[in-house]
Amino acid sequence: MSLLDQLLSELTTKEEVEQLRELCDKISDDETLEHKEVAPLGPRVFLCINVPGRNNKEIAFLTLEQESLESYILVYHVLNKTQLTNKDVVPKRVRVWEVNEFKPKKVMKQFLEVAKMLRG
């Protein structure tokens, strides 16, 4: 049984959107988010993790966001490290991947594949 299967078996709800939200909350608890003050967070952002920037002058985030009820996207956000002192700045969307799945396990697999690719 994979770690993802184990986490899914521990979920308490049956509704798929809530299962995905619960799963993302568990992952967020284990993942430490650096530069949280500028991270792209909000009601539609289910999960946000740190990933490497395109160069050593950038910080970057990968988010799993809900577009509509059963539609999700993965977004690669980038911010220049020199802008960290400015609290009004928001990371720029650089790349968006459409998630063509709505089952929690398949959505998370796609998220993990992109995260692995970005982390090298």
Q: What is the pTM of this model?
A: 0.93
CA distance 1 to 81: 40
| C-alpha torsion angle, residues 97, 101, 104, 107 (rounded to 10) | -20
Q: Domain segments of the chain: what residues?
A: 3-119
Contact 50, 56 (CB under 8 A): no
Contact 74, 63 (CB under 8 A): yes
Question: Quick one: pLDDT at residue 67?
Answer: 94
Question: Could you state, in chain order, the average pLDDT of each consecutive group of 10 residues for the chain (120 residues)?
Answer: 78 86 92 92 96 96 94 97 87 96 94 95
